Amino acid sequence: MTAAVFDPYAPVAPTSRFLYGLNPLSKLAGPAPAMLALLFVRDLATPLAFLALSYALLLIGARFSGRLAALLFLVIPAGVVLVGCGFAVWVDATQVEQTAEVLRIGDWVLYAGALEVGFATALRLSAIVSLALVGGLTTTGPDLVRASVQQLRLPYRIGYTALAAYRFVPRFGHELEVIRAAHRVRGHHGGRGPLSRVARAWGYVVPLLAGAIRHAERVALAMDARAFGAHPTRTERYLVPFRPRDAVFIVLFWAASGAVLWYLFPWQPG
C-alpha cells in the first residue's frame, strides 16, 4: 500500500469559489488603488463602502468557515470599536470643542467630533485590512512566489530562496512539538510556575537551533544538487497563468473603487 505524499508546493485544489482561481497578482493589483486612496480620506462613508465591498467579495468568493466568520464578524468589528474609542480619547479636545458633548468625567470631556475622528481612523484601517484579506485569505505563499517569478520576472534566486525560508516556519513548529514530546517522555517538566516555563523554553533553544541547522544544510544540499542559481532561468513545474479573467477582475475592481470615490468624493471641502 503506497502512502500519500504531501507536496507543500503543489497548487491549491480547485474550488467553486472564484477568488481561488485568480492569479495572486490580480488580487493584489485590484485592491491596491483603493488601499492607497484610503490613506488620504477622512470621512466615515468611504471606508464603510470599501468595507462592504471587501466583505461581499470574501463572502461570495472565499470558502466560508468558522475562522472567516469570526474574523469578519467578531475580530474586525471589535478592532474598530477598540481603535475608534482609543483614538477618540487621544484627539485634541480644543480641535473639536465646538461639537456636542458625549461624555463628561470631571474636567475631561469627550466630544462627538473626537468620536468621529477616532472611528473614521478605525474604519479606514479596518477597510485597508479587509481589502488586503481578499488576496491574503485566498492565496498561498508558493503561488504568490510563482506568479512573481513568472509574470513580474522576479529573479528565481530571490523568489525561491524566500519561499524556502518561508517553509522554515512550519518546520520549526513541528520540531518544537517533537522536542516538547521528548522532554515530557524523559520527565524534564521542570516543575510549575512562570519561572519553570521560562526554564523549559530555554531548554528548547539548543535542540531547536541544532535542528534548524540540520534542516538548512539539507535544503542547501538539495538546492545545490538541482543546480540552483547556475542558470538565469529555470523550468517551472507549476504554472500560475495570468488569464483574461484576471484582467477583468482588476478592471472591475478599479471601476468599482473609482465609482465609490467619485460618488462620495471624500476630499470635498466642508
**pLDDT tens profile 21-62:** 999 999 999 999 999 999 999 889 999 999 999 999 999 999
Segment 124-138 shows an average pLDDT of 94
Dihedral sign for Cα atoms in the order 69, 71, 73, 74 = positive
Which residue, chain included where needed, has cell 491549491?
12
What is the reported pLDDT for 203?
A: 75
Q: Where are the domains of the chain?
A: 22-140+240-264, 152-225
- CA angle (70 as vertex; 67, 73 as ends), nearest 5: 140
At 123, list the grid cell.
474604519
63-113 per-position pLDDT tens digit = 988 999 999 999 999 999 999 999 998 888 888 888 888 888 888 888 889
Q: Determine the average pLDDT of the residues in 113-135.
A: 94
